[in-house]
Amino acid sequence: MTISILDSWAKRVGTAAIMSLSLTACAGNDRDPTDGIHDPYETRNRALHGFNKGLDTAIVRPVARGYSAVLPDPIEDSVSNFAENFGQPANVVNSLLQADFRGAGISFSRFFFNSTIGIGGLLDPATEMAIPEHDTDFGETLYVWGVGEGAYAEAPLLGPTTTRRSVGRIVDLFTNPLGDALPEPERYSGTLANVGARLTDRSRFSNTIDSVLYDSADSYSQSRLIYLQSRRFELGDRSDDSSLDPYSDPYGDPYEDPYAE
């Protein structure tokens, strides 16, 4: 049974990876060389940004506030810990695909100790044992494989992304072996925990998020700029950051859009 599950999972991951490479190849790797932002679908992206912003105003922000108001902080932390732990097997897989054996070992160690001593991931003894957090995804795997960033995009519900990251998200649906190993409905527990973790983040970082979405003159440009800075910094990618360097002016206004006309 275990061999059958692993074989089925491996075939799905392989197929998804091949499809992802085809999709990113078709999308192209061209970028705007003048400002480090390649946004050929800006009109459509702005419409989706407006939809996401309206959704945040009407549903996400009030639900997040209510979620955090009802649940004590320790319970919220346990839900977030569980979500993080549930994703560790996928981190192991992506780390191996990136030939990052240290990262794979860290993710495996965190998953082992948090799943056992940490009661299925509700607690985080791995951090107390000085095992650092390690997070990766198939979008980073594609980056390591040399796939270009592609175009900037705004995804419904998910927000800012790029072609490479969007394709990576699709493959990430198949990279976690727990999805095949667990029976229903347990296999959906990670998804539910992720929703809870995102609500916690929306509530705890409300001031920062609100300042971008509701206080800036052009929330779309701000979201785009901050996302690209953050994602490229996360990947260690400086190839497109000549004019997106967040540290170029440490005394500058972080919400001022240098690309606004």
pLDDT 10s per residue in the chain (261 long)?
Answer: 444 444 544 555 555 555 555 555 555 554 443 458 999 999 999 999 999 999 999 999 999 999 999 999 999 999 999 999 999 999 999 999 999 999 999 999 999 999 999 999 999 999 999 999 999 999 999 999 999 999 999 999 999 999 999 999 999 888 877 766 666 666 778 889 999 999 999 999 999 999 999 999 999 999 999 999 999 999 986 555 544 554 444 334 444 544 444
d(CA 261, CA 69): 41
Confidence (pLDDT) at 183: 65
d(CA 142, CA 24): 9
Say if CB 213 and CB 56 are below 8 A apart: yes
What would the two tokens of residue 203 be? 């509530």
